[in-house]
Amino acid sequence: MTIKVPQQILDALTDVEMPRLPAGAPFDEIVQAGTHQIPVHRSGCIVVGSGAAGLRAAVELKRRGGDVAIISQSAWGGTSACSGSDKQTLHTANTADQGDDFKAMARAIRAGGAMDEDTAYIEAVGSVRAMASLQYLGLPLPQDPLGGTLRYQTDHDEVGRATSCGPRTSRLMVQVLAREALRLDIPLFNQTTAVRLLTKGDGAEQRVIGVLSMRPKMRSDENPFGLVAFLTNSVVLAAGGPGELYRDSVFPNGCFGSLGMALEAGLELVNITESQFGIGTRREGFPWNLSGTYVQVIPHIYSVDADGAEHHFLADYYRTTQEMASNIFRKGYQWPFHASRMLEFGSSLADLAIFREGQKGRRVFMDFNRNPLPVPGDQEFSLDRLDDDVSQYLRNAGATHDLPIDRLRHMNPLAIELYRRYKVDIAAEPLEFAVNNQHMNGGVSVDIWGRSNVPGIYAVGEAAGTHGVTRPGGSALNAGQVFGTRVAEHLGASGRARDPMHGTADDEIGSAVAKIEAMLRPQDGVDLKSVRDEVQARMSDKAGILCTPSEVSQALADAMELNKAIRERGIAFGRTSEAGRALQWQQMALSSEAVLAALHHYIEGGGGSRGARAICEPAGDALPEARTGPLPDYRFRGKTEEDKSEQILVRLEHDQMRISRRQNRQFDETEKSFFERDWPAWLTGAIYELGDA
């Protein structure tokens, strides 16, 4: 039986209103740094970022008595508030049938390799609490009549651990967490961008003392850049991923993350070679992932050349109409590009085909009013001629309608509604899309409590490098919730964030301001726009889904050259209001060099294609084939099992990227807790390993 979902229910899940923010907290002191008068706010902890991860950390810390404030470039910006897909996914332990096995779930989370085994288990076991507490705060996750959560299968998920509130799961998470943050009176400084982490001491003695930020509304003659200092005993980096790193990107506009800032403060990054790329609509329009039902309804995919001629290009790749249509469907739950899935006519052959059309200068579209055209010489598309997994899914879903748009309307009306909100009617017109960068799996290297290598600095969400080479769909949101909670537990136990920071930081603020002044050179620096164009083009063209050893090596040399020029000449920008952006681009140029340095190191060390990237070379042992013949230009190195057991670390020392490797942390699955033996460690706080606090 089909139940028609009333419009107001669809509206509430697609048009998610955010709470009104109260006026910010006061800045009670002023520090003089050169000619700049800088307002100061003191707290026990500063959370940088108000996405789902940062809000979770702040809320949990406040509930443990922490003196915490949030600063955010844009309170309802970032990926949690502004990104999604057909059914944006939260990956948590399956509560249906016979429940889940956390060890098996942890194995699935880390299956792609280069992931700490303890972290995977933490995410698995913590997912139950993350989900239940979100439901307690009002997150409308769908249930069956007996209270089981409705589930489905998604990327890298063989079990069906995915659930969703619809296209805007993460925005709804931000909504319920933000309401809680406001209820708890946590100060949120909006339009406030962290630009430098302030630390005291060197080497093992280094610790955090604050965050220097730009807050445009504080600009004045005495403070031309609107600088403000947050003096604090602890910082939680929750600034999200570096979405601006790539030209071809499905991140919302203005996502810079904090990798560059972290490198400058001496933090170690990990796994930054690992990203996700997949099909979606680009941020120039309405950036959205085209996973799940968008492709499971099997629309016709075609390209248009400069003369307006249509090309049924997928027919050159797949051998039969059934194979082509079944792989379009599989992009639904095998969404990210994966090198090995280019082989044997798998679903990533479609990503490669779409990517190549883009390289030819053609625009690629999905048409929901047409079923796929046939492969030449083969039969017409028919729902009766699909691979078994595909036809069974569509039958189970009751999606047996003649046209893709009717199947979509039946399976997920929110998917249509969502684009309508942004003035795109996919029921009426084809939808343009491309292969885009979507997620950074790596980030700040953290331990099991979210601690970085600098005491007092933690990282959560996409800012943290907790994922391995692959991650099941929805595990990014889960990781942010689980580690947001753990960071707060750790800070709560340490007492570090209980009181506002005492003491002064005049010297550190003075030296950070001097560095900023040296970097911001309105007249003679390297042009801001050219930095952006160069970084984004290099990353998309040379370090996207396909890369070659020589191109990565050259890209690294070029990135180093750019950073050298920026160090020597600073960055030029137009209006004073662009000063913050100039610093973010300087830091993004640094992040890009770090990614390329790690990638170069990995490739030179013989690393194979894995996750998001195929490393193409004539000597490669894997050769993708198309219907029209082999594709020797895309011959690539297969993946190597040894790569799975270790992780690549990057650190900035004296303007050089220092690369090292470490083994994944292990988790002994046979080890069992024993109540009376382990209780004291909990009661005394020994579980938090508070040596540094």
| Shorter beta-carbon distance to ligand FAD: residue 275 or 371 | 275
Which of 43, 258, 412, 441: binder of ligand FAD (CB under 6 A)? Answer: 258
Q: Which residue has the tokens 């894997």?
A: 622
- Name the segment binding ligand FAD (CB under 6 A); options: 249-257, 316-324, 354-362, 499-507: 249-257
Stretch that binds ligand FAD, among 31-39, 94-102, 201-209, 470-478 (CB under 6 A): 470-478
By CB under 6 A, how many residues form the interface with ligand FAD? 47
**Cα 543 to Cα 551: distance, rounded to the nearest angstrom:** 8
Indicate which single residue of 473, 607, 608, 624 sits in contact with ligand FAD (rule: CB under 6 A).
473
Kindly tell me which residue out of 43, 73, 119, 647 binds ligand FAD, with binding defined by CB under 6 A.
73
Residue 85 or 175 with smaller CB distance to ligand FAD: 85
Measure Cα distances from 80 to 413, 420, 485 in Å. Answer: 22, 20, 17
Query: Which CB atom, from 74 or from 95, has the smaller least distance to ligand FAD?
Result: 74
Answer whether 292's CB lies under 8 Å from 154's CB: yes
- Helix 102-109, helix 117-137: angle, nearest 10: 110
CB of 412 to ligand FAD, least distance (A): 14
Min dist CB 194 to ligand FAD, Å, is 4
Show contacts with ligand FAD in window 133-172 (CB under 6 A): 170
| Distance (Å, whole) CA 241 – CA 249 | 12
- Are the C-beta atoms of 61 and 68 separated by less than 8 Å? yes
x/- letters, 174..193, toward ligand FAD (CB under 6 A): -------------------x
- Least separation in angstroms between residue 178's CB and ligand FAD is 10
- Helix 169-183 and helix 52-63: axis angle, to 10°? 30
Reduced 3-state DSSP string for 574-609: CCHHHHHHHHHHHHHHHHHHHHHHHHHHHHHCCCCC
Nearer to ligand FAD (CB atom), residue 258 or residue 609: 258
Only segment of 44-52, 93-101, 493-501, 638-646 that touches ligand FAD (CB under 6 A): 44-52
Contacts of 499 (CB under 8 A, 6+ apart): 44, 67, 233
Give the length of the chain. Answer: 693
Q: Apex CA 288: angle with CA 60 and CA 54, to 5°? A: 15
Contact between 611 and ligand FAD by CB under 6 A: the answer reads no
Of 39, 44, 66, 77, the residue at the interface with ligand FAD (CB under 6 A) is 77
What residues from 282 to 341 belong to the interface with ligand FAD (CB under 6 A)?
287-289
In the bound state with ligand FAD, the residue whose beta carbon lies nearer, of 324 and 460, is 460
Cβ(376)–Cβ(366) under 8 Å?
A: no
Question: Which range touches ligand FAD (CB under 6 A), out of 221-229, 423-431, 448-456, 469-477?
Answer: 469-477
Contact criterion met (CB below 8 Å) for 140 and 165: yes
x/- map, 224-243, ligand FAD, by CB under 6 A: --------------xxxx--
Work out which of 260, 461, 611, 620 binds ligand FAD, going by CB under 6 A: 461
- Give the separation between CA 488 and CA 494, rounded to whole angstroms: 10
CB-nearer residue toward ligand FAD: 288 or 381 = 288
Task: Closer to ligand FAD by CB, 87 or 362: give it.
Answer: 87
Per the listing, tokens 């016709």 go with: 300
Among 51, 126, 332, 374, binds ligand FAD (CB under 6 A): 51
| Cβ-contact 132, 125 below 8 angstroms | no
Q: How far is the CB of 599 from ligand FAD (least distance, A)?
A: 21
Give the shortest CB-286-to-ligand FAD separation in angstroms.
Answer: 10
Q: Of 89 and 340, which has the nearer Cβ to ligand FAD?
A: 89
Count of alpha carbons within 13 angstroms of residue 186, beta-carbon side: 34
Residues 81-110 that bind ligand FAD (CB under 6 A): 83-85, 88-89
Q: Which of residues 52-71 bind ligand FAD (CB under 6 A)?
A: 52-54, 71
Report the residue from 14, 43, 50, 540 that binds ligand FAD according to the rule CB under 6 A: 50
In the complex, the smallest distance separating the C-beta of residue 278 from ligand FAD, rounded to whole angstroms, is 9
> What contacts 176, CB < 8 A, 6 or more positions away?
134, 137, 138, 139
Which distant-in-sequence residues (6+ apart) come within 8 Å of 127 by Cβ?
91, 92, 93, 105, 478, 481, 482
- C-alpha torsion angle, residues 495, 497, 502, 506 (rounded to 10): 140
Beta carbons within 10 angstroms of residue 240's beta carbon: 32
Cβ partners under 8 Å of residue 12, min gap 6: none
Residues lying near ligand FAD in the complex (CB under 6 A) are found at: 48-54, 71-74, 77-80, 83-85, 88-89, 170, 193-194, 238-241, 250-251, 255-256, 258, 280, 287-289, 438-439, 461-463, 473-477, 480
